[in-house]
């Protein structure tokens, strides 16, 4: 997704992500941007907390594209879902999604979204973490299978696409920004962009 930057005084905005969900969210701010795939190892480090993993990887993704984009503002974001010591990534396969949803039913899962805005002209790096508490209903096996029959949830952390049918799996969501759960915390990102001189309403 490439856009023309008409104002030379404003640094080009780069989204270090191939996620269609993050692209769609960023489009809401009506700022021209380019999406670039980051080459980053997303493996958690030993003894690293889920929150730290999400925040570290958001910065890692931004820095992974920095060399090719000098004098730019680069957005990196990553999300880790966890329940106690158990982490829930993108399931990839239906069998994995079934296991995840059975583990999460009746429980409150934290979806921690890391956000980084890196100015490659000045070196300034803004980093934040936005947690969202998600309470899953005590789902029956039949409800889980019906959901997976109808929703393509294999490419989202925790198998629950809240912007789609996944909302029906939940008792509640609690957090500072509903967009964070989808993958990009727009309220915090807007603060970061304003601090870099980007005009937003």
CA–CA separation, 8 and 39 (whole Å): 28
For residue 155, what pLDDT is reported?
87
CA–CA separation, 113 and 19 (whole Å): 14
What percentage of the chain has pLDDT greater than the value 70?
A: 96
Tens of pLDDT, residue by residue over 131-141, are: 999 999 999 99
Do 115 and 132 contact (CB within 8 A), yes or no?
Answer: no
Q: Which residues contact 154 (CB under 8 A, 6 or more apart)?
A: 90, 91, 92, 93, 94, 96, 97
Catalytic positions, please? 78
Q: What are phi and psi of 51, to 5 degrees?
A: -65, -45
What average pLDDT is seen over the chain?
Answer: 93
Indicate the pTM of the whole model: 0.90
Report, as an integer, the average pLDDT of 100-123. Answer: 97
Tens of pLDDT, residue by residue over 148-196, are: 999 998 988 889 888 899 999 999 999 999 999 999 999 999 999 999 9
CATH topology of domain 13-195: Maf protein (3.90.950)
For residue 135, what pLDDT is reported?
97
Domain spans in the chain, listed from the N-terminal domain onward: 13-195
Report, as an integer, the average pLDDT of 4-31. Answer: 83
* Element containing residue 110 per DSSP (H, E): strand 108-119
- Alpha helix positions (H), the chain: 20-27, 50-64, 94-104, 141-150, 178-182, 186-195
Radius of gyration of the chain, Cα coordinates, nearest whole angstrom: 17
Q: Which residues contact 76 (CB under 8 A, 6 or more apart)?
A: 16, 17, 38, 57, 58, 59, 60, 61, 62, 63, 64, 114, 115, 116, 118
Do 130 and 85 contact (CB within 8 A), yes or no?
Answer: no
For residue 55, what pLDDT is reported?
97
């Amino acid at each position: 997704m490439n856009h023309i930057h008409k104002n030379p005084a404003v640094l080009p905005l780069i989204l270090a992500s191939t996620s269609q969900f993050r692209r769609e969210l960023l489009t809401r701010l009506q700022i021209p941007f380019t999406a670039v795939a980051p080459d980053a190892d997303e493996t958690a480090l030993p003894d690293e907390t889920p929150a730290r993993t999400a925040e570290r990887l958001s910065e890692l993704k931004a820095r992974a594209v920095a060399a090719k984009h000098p004098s730019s503002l680069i957005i990196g974001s990553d999300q880790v879902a966890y329940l106690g010591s158990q982490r829930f990534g993108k399931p990839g396969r239906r069998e994995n999604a079934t296991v995840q949803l059975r583990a999460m039913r009746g429980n409150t899962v934290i979806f921690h979204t890391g956000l980084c805005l890196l100015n490659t002209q000045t070196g300034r790096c803004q980093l934040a973490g936005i947690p969202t508490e998600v309470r899953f209903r005590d789902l029956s096996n039949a409800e889980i299978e019906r959901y997976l029959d109808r929703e393509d949830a294999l490419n989202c952390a925790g198998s629950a696409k809240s912007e789609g049918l996944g909302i029906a799996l939940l008792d509640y969501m609690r957090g500072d920004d509903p967009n964070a759960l989808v993958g990009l915390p727009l309220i915090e990102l807007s603060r970061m962009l304003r601090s870099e001189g980007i005009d937003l309403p």
